[in-house]
A = this chain, B = another copy of it.
């Protein structure tokens, strides 16, 4: 086994520095020195529900970038020293129709998650990117295109591809009218990508002071979701509404803003929803959801971001301040994504 260092949960929201084991490289593995790892809402959720007495070890982190330090015998696509990025999926069955379509995120036997997943060969629980080294099957690592800052690119691997997939699958391009509800880690990347895809992009927020931010991101308009007049004026307007609000909320007012045959894509809150069928019926609206992405979309997204100068707006903290990052994320006190610098683990 290989040994590295990381931040491991010892109870809900408590992380301690710990020595971790990584597997010896399989023929198709690479070892990655993790330089930067984003802090995702999923990490908070995993920590909040963690009980060390009943669960396997937890090391969060599923959006990271770094450098290849070793390659397995069969690996031909990566060399030591290459810059790479890894997201929230590290394996899949490879043979189902979804895997064959490049949509490993929908693998029929469920993809292996970057942390908290079960390795398909040895059955161990995967430990995430809040660590200095990660060993990953090379097909689930992505070359980090030149021009992308490795710290600001880390959040692209979860937040980025999560907004990219619906924008692409819903056909957003020049002439599209896109609204982004909620301006946070997901939302700010959705705005940047929608603008770069050529869409007229509007931010919907209950926080009036995010108007300035929205303008900087390229969205000319903000709709204050607490103003009935603004919401009424925007009725039947948007081809795609990317809903990144990370808590349960009434979908009806947002569905009203979607144009006929348009789609509300729910990304921020993934629990049970209650929706009135008539809110879908009247004006012929569609409801969808998204999260993560397949290998094809992930690679495409990285190249698009490199070509268009897109990365996350981040605040970098040394990994030893992970508790601060999680606490402030909990209070929405970040614009817009924390990234941990892992070099302090050396």
- Using CB atoms and an 8 Å cutoff, list the residues of chain A in contact with chain B: 97-98, 101, 103, 106, 108, 165, 169, 235-236, 260-261, 263, 266, 269-278, 280-291
* A and B contact pairs by CB, cutoff 8 A, 6 listed: A98-B283, A106-B283, A270-B277, A273-B273, A280-B289, A286-B287
Which chain B residues lie closer than 8 Å to A270 at the CB level? 277-278, 281
Contacts of A275 in B (CB 8 A): 272-273, 275, 287
For A263, the chain B residues whose CB sits under 8 A away are 286
Docked pose: A266 CA to B284 CA in angstroms = 11
A261 to chain B minimum Cβ distance, whole angstroms, is 6
Q: Do the beta carbons of B260 and A106 come within 8 Å of each other?
A: yes
B169 and A97 contacting across the interface, CB-CB below 8 Å: no
User: Once the chains bind, are B281 and A290 in contact (CB under 8 Å)?
Assistant: yes
* Cα separation A291 to B271 with both chains bound (whole Å): 27
Given known A-B contacts A263-B286, A283-B106, A284-B290, A274 and B277 have beta carbons under 8 A apart: no
Apart from A169-B261, A281-B291, A284-B288, 8 more pairs, CB < 8 Å? A98-B236, A103-B284, A169-B284, A269-B277, A272-B275, A275-B287, A286-B286, A286-B288
Q: Which residues of the partner chain B approach A101 to less than 8 Å between Cβ atoms?
A: 260
Number of copies: 2
Distance of A112 from chain B, by nearest CB (Å): 15
Q: How far is the CB of A123 from chain B (nearest CB, A)?
A: 23
Q: Which of A235, A236, A278, A289 has the most CB of B within 10 A?
A: A289
Known A283-B106, A284-B106: A289·B277 in contact at CB below 8 Å: yes
Task: Write out the residue numbers on chain B whose beta carbons fall within 8 Å of the beta carbon of A272.
Answer: 274-277
Contact A277 B281 (CB under 8 A): no
Residue contact A271 to B280, C-beta cutoff 8 Å? no
List B contacts of A282 (CB < 8 A).
106
Q: Contact at A274–B271, with CB atoms within 8 Å?
A: no
Residues of B within 8 A of A260 (CB): 98, 101, 103, 106
Residues of B within 8 A of A271 (CB): 276-277
Counting chain B CB atoms within 10 Å of each CB, the highest count among A101, A103, A277 belongs to A277
Query: What are the 7 closest A-B residue pairs judged by CB atoms, nearest first?
Result: A280-B289, A281-B289, A270-B277, A287-B287, A286-B286, A277-B289, A286-B288
Measured between beta carbons, the chain B residues less than 8 angstroms from A281 are 270, 289-291
Minimum C-beta distance from A81 to chain B (A) = 36
Which residue of B is nearest A261, CB measured?
A: B169
